[in-house]
Chains A and B, each alone.
Chain A
């Protein structure tokens, strides 16, 4: 503490160290938030269902997505990344997932939404086994913090089925 430079260095080092601590505690406080998200997805229409020239099945859907994700936002949340995936089971693999739509929700005010769109990303199969397939639509979300740990969770909605023949 004998010189200006020494004191300035000691002060800045201590300040940055306890800044790291305060960010860790802020991240830890996220564990105590009460999260009750809700969502509903409706397939309004299957626009077309064809076998492509390269041999793979493709579906085009019109989805009606309703979601209430406001309770996921805490004081330490920067944004929430949400995406809808179609999941099904085949004889070869226990879980197959295709991402159909995603969105970045930057603020709590935008977290309650209703949207009707066709799928943003192509619903393709590896092969031609989608006829008559039962599948789940799952809404996944990643809560991205300002500092600290990212939380991810999902809601699974089952009971959807593709038609038995190409359209």
Chain B
């Protein structure tokens, strides 16, 4: 037998012998003074029973018993629905020693009852009814706060800590703003300079192109001139001409020496 089985069996046994639990009876009796609590507890118990029956019905194999069980469920539901208005009237009544919170809670519980009753599956299409229940219940609900509604003066009182915190927050925020302003100014200057640089470069582009073409032209001219110069120089100072020059010089010197000799004599 597993743990879960044990637990379920224990639960079932406890439920069976609850009526012998003196403590619990006493607690129940305390709320027994309250008509609403009694009525609500009764209806609650009946809803639980009906749900159990519905489960049985869904598990039933034979159709006849299912139909019978469903019919009984429907009768129970109708009876319960009739008792709900009575309970509602009781819920609105103010009881001594009951807080406003509890009163509102009771109202809610009563309003939720019809939905729960309808929700008990009885073979009919019960699911469609559910959304319809939103409207009326929403108009009576209020937003609930955790603090149980104790919004007295002390709650909003400024404490020392919160003041300090707020001040610190303000100073830091101011300092950040200052820093951001300085950054923004710097960025503005940068943007301006960048724009000016952009325009200046745009201005320089056609000039650079002109320089490029002019330099190309000059370079080609220079190459031409160099080639021609080389031609001329080689022509002028080719080794053949050089030799001819030397030979002729020697011949002239020879003739001069011969003449000199002849004349000396």
| Bind each other | no
